[in-house]
Structure 1
């Protein structure tokens, strides 16, 4: 394992707060009106973890923030829950880094695009 990845894992583990993680998972499940222990919630939380590792500078997760934004957009996650995910990711974001902010803006843009797709199709 590369030294930078060892450092990234150590940083992630040092900042990880299981209570906040579980609370976020419950928020996602509530938002989607599904059980907490479903595959869909697990997939979203894995994407959140991947993005947190990106923010800790792990080299294996370069596009994690974009993948999380796409998954949120496709799932119809609410703006309030996107904001909760963003706040959670800020735990890991270093000064000068923008990936958590990029996630939030991209996820909200995709959500809005998804909301507008049906009215646009009907208008055409």
Structure 2
């Protein structure tokens, strides 16, 4: 939960780097919250109102952490647009987010693994 809150606090931070753990913990909690909201909507009989509001609320933090994750692998945030390519783009982006950090400082900053949390 700490990693999820860290991303939300840095919701407009497109600068710097985000390690794998930060990115994937954010994705995990976002997915879990979306599932819970969907179950609530189904139980109450609502259309996708809660899930839609939540998706809009986390859009900017999701973009920011994705860009920082790409920075951590040494890529520009513009690589996020690879997702617009059907099928192949999503697979390439998934591979990029699974890659390990560059071990030393790069043009986007110091390696976050070397910094205290």
Please report the TM-score for the alignment, with normalisation by the length of structure 2.
0.28
User: Could you say which structure has the greater relative contact order, defined with CA pairs below 8 angstroms and 6 or more residues apart?
Assistant: 2
Q: Which has the higher helix share?
A: 1
